[in-house]
C-alpha cells in the first residue's frame, strides 16, 4: 500500500505541472475506463446505461461524456448494495457515511488503498505540514482511528514518529482544549467551522488568543465572519479543504485564498445548470471519481454549487453545507459533529434536529417501513442521553421531512426563527 500511495502522491504532483490540454486528454481516457468498468461490473450502472441507450457508447471526447446520464444519491440509495459494488464483499471494505445533508445518510464503500488516497490529498493541501510534528485535531475521530489501527499509518505513528495527532473530542470542554493549547506554537489545527466557532467564542470571553500557524477547515461552508475570527483569535492562516464522502478532500485552497485547486489525478469535474448568484455565475457540481472502482461514482451530482472557474485546474468559491448551533438554557452549545452517532442508528431514512423558539430540542425522523417505533425511540433517546442527559429531547416521527427549498439540501441542525 505504501508504494501505491507514494506513486499516487508523485503522480498528483506531476498532474499539477501538466498543461491543460494534456490533463484533458488523460481525463477523457480515464473517464472512459471507469465508464467501461462500471457498466461491466455494476448491475446499477448497467441498468442505468441500458435504459438510457448509452450502454455501447464509445467515449472519445467531452461531448460524449455529456451523453452519459447523471446520477444522484437518491438513485443509489434506492438500490441494493450488491448492485452498486463491483465485486468485493462488503465485509472487507472501508465504510464511510455521508452527513445526510440531502436528508438521507448514505454509506460509501472503498478498499483501504482507495480510502487512504484521501490522506495523501490532505497532505498535498496542507502547506507547511511537518509529518514529524503532531498536529491538533478537534472532531469525531473514532471511526477513522479504528481504520488506522489496522494500517501502515499506525505503524508509522508508533515506530517512526510520523503522522502523529493530538486529538480532542467534540465533547471535550472548550476551556480544557484552550488550557492544553495555551502558550504553545501549534503548527496545524484541523476542525470544522462550527467546532472552531465554539472554541473562539470561549476565547472571546477573556480576549485570549492562541498561536496557530495554519488552521485547516473542512466539512462545512466557511463564512467570512468565522474566517475573520480564526485569523484574529487563532492568529492563523486558513486552508479550506472541500470534499464529500463520495470523494474526500476533493479540493483545497492555498493559505488565506478563496480559489480552490482540486485533485486532478483522481476526479473529473463538471458544472451544470449555471445560475447567477450575486452577479457571479455558479454551476451545480458533478463529479466522476476516477479511483474508486469498488463503488463507482460516475457523473454524480454532489448537490453543491460552485462559482464557475476561469481555469480548468481550479475551482471557484463553493456554496456547500452549513449548520446552525444550538444554545441551551445553561449556555452550553451543541453543534452538528457532536451528533454524528445518530447517522449509524438504523430504522429511519431521514432525520434532523430542530430547536424551537422556546429552546426545546426535537428529533424528527421518517421511519423505515415495518420499524417498531417505540424501540427506535428508545435507541434515539439512549444515544442522546450518552452526552446530553441533563437536557430533554422530544422524538417525533413524520411521513416526510421537506428539503430546504433555498439550498436544495437538508439543514440537519436547525434553529427555528
- Residue 182: its H or E element: none
What pLDDT is recorded for position 143? Answer: 54
Which domains can be identified in the chain, with CATH numbers? 112-319 (3.40.50.12780), 326-415 (3.30.300.30)
Q: How far apart are CA 246 and CA 235, in angstroms?
A: 33
Quick check: 302 and 279 in contact, CB under 8 A?
no
Sign of CA dihedral 114, 190, 146, 156: positive
Per-residue pLDDT 10s for the chain (417 aa) are 788 988 999 999 999 999 999 999 999 999 999 999 999 999 999 999 999 999 999 999 999 999 999 999 889 988 898 999 998 677 778 888 775 555 556 789 999 899 889 888 988 888 767 778 878 999 876 555 667 776 777 777 777 777 778 889 888 899 999 999 999 989 999 998 888 988 999 999 999 999 999 999 988 778 788 899 999 999 999 999 998 889 999 999 989 888 889 999 999 999 998 888 768 888 889 999 999 999 999 999 988 888 899 899 998 888 765 556 788 877 777 877 678 678 778 898 888 899 998 889 999 999 989 999 999 999 999 999 988 888 899 999 999 887 655 444 557 788 887
User: HSE on the CB side for 355, CA within 13 Å?
Assistant: 16
What pLDDT is recorded for position 243? Answer: 85
C-alpha cell at 96: 464511510
Nearest Cα to Cα of residue 300 among 62, 32, 75, 39: 75
Q: How far apart are CA 398 and CA 143, in angstroms?
A: 30
What pLDDT is recorded for position 407? Answer: 46
Buried b (16+ CB within 10 A) or exposed e, 310-333: eeeeebbbbbbbbbbbbeeeeeee
What pLDDT is recorded for position 404? Answer: 55
Q: What is the DSSP letter of 409?
A: B
Nearest Cα to Cα of residue 352 among 271, 414, 302: 414
E strands, 175-311, in order: 185-191, 211-217, 237-244, 247-253, 260-262, 267-277, 280-289, 300-307
What pLDDT is recorded for position 245? Answer: 86
What pLDDT is recorded for position 324? Answer: 66
What pLDDT is recorded for position 46? Answer: 96
Is beta strand 267-277 parallel, antiparallel or unpaired with respect to 280-289?
Answer: antiparallel
Amino acid at each position: 500500500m505504501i508504494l501505491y500511495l507514494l506513486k499516487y502522491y508523485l503522480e498528483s504532483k506531476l498532474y499539477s505541472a501538466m498543461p491543460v490540454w494534456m490533463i484533458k486528454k488523460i481525463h477523457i481516457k480515464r473517464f472512459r475506463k471507469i465508464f467501461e468498468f462500471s457498466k461491466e461490473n455494476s448491475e446499477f450502472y448497467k441498468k442505468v446505461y441500458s435504459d438510457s441507450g448509452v450502454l455501447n457508447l464509445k467515449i472519445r471526447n467531452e461531448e460524449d461524456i455529456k451523453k452519459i446520464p447523471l446520477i444522484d444519491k437518491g438513485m443509489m440509495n434506492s438500490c441494493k448494495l450488491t448492485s452498486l459494488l463491483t465485486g468485493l464483499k462488503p465485509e472487507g471494505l472501508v465504510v464511510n457515511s455521508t452527513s445526510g445533508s440531502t436528508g438521507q445518510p448514505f454509506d460509501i464503500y472503498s478498499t483501504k488503498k482507495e480510502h487512504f488516497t484521501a490522506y495523501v490529498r490532505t497532505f498535498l493541501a496542507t502547506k507547511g505540514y511537518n509529518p514529524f510534528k503532531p498536529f491538533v485535531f478537534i472532531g469525531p475521530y473514532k471511526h477513522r482511528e479504528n481504520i488506522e489501527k489496522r494500517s501502515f499509518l499506525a505503524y508509522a505513528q508508533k515506530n517512526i514518529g510520523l503522522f502523529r495527532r493530538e486529538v480532542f473530542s467534540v465533547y471535550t470542554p472548550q476551556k480544557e482544549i484552550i488550557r492544553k493549547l495555551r502558550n504553545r506554537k501549534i503548527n496545524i489545527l484541523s476542525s470544522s467551522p462550527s467546532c472552531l466557532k465554539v472554541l473562539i467564542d470561549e476565547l472571546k470571553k477573556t480576549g485570549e488568543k492562541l498561536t496557530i500557524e495554519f488552521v485547516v477547515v473542512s466539512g462545512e461552508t466557511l463564512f467570512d465572519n468565522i474566517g475573520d475570527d480564526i485569523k484574529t483569535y487563532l492568529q492563523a492562516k486558513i486552508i479550506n479543504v472541500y470534499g464529500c464522502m463520495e470523494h474526500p478532500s476533493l479540493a483545497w485552497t492555498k493559505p488565506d485564498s478563496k480559489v480552490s485547486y482540486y485533485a486532478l489525478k483522481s476526479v473529473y469535474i463538471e458544472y451544470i445548470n449555471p445560475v447567477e448568484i450575486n452577479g457571479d455565475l455558479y454551476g451545480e457540481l458533478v463529479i466522476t471519481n476516477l479511483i474508486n472502482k469498488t463503488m463507482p461514482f460516475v457523473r454524480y451530482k454532489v448537490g453543491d454549487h460552485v462559482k464557475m472557474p476561469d481555469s480548468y485546474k481550479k475551482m471557484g468559491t463553493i456554496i456547500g453545507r452549513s449548520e446552525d448551533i444550538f444554545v441551551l438554557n445553561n449556555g452550553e452549545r451543541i453543534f452538528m459533529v457532536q451528533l454524528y452517532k445518530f447517522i449509524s442508528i438504523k430504522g429511519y431514512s431521514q432525520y434532523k434536529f430542530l430547536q424551537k423558539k422556546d429552546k426545546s430540542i426535537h428529533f424528527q425522523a421518517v421511519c423505515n417501513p415495518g420499524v417498531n417505533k417505540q424501540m427506535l425511540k428508545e435507541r434515539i433517546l439512549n444515544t442522546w442521553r450518552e452526552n446530553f442527559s441533563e437536557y430533554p429531547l422530544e422524538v417525533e416521527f413524520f411521513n416526510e421531512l421537506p428539503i430546504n427549498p433555498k439550498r436544495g439540501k437538508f439543514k440537519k441542525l436547525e434553529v427555528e426563527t
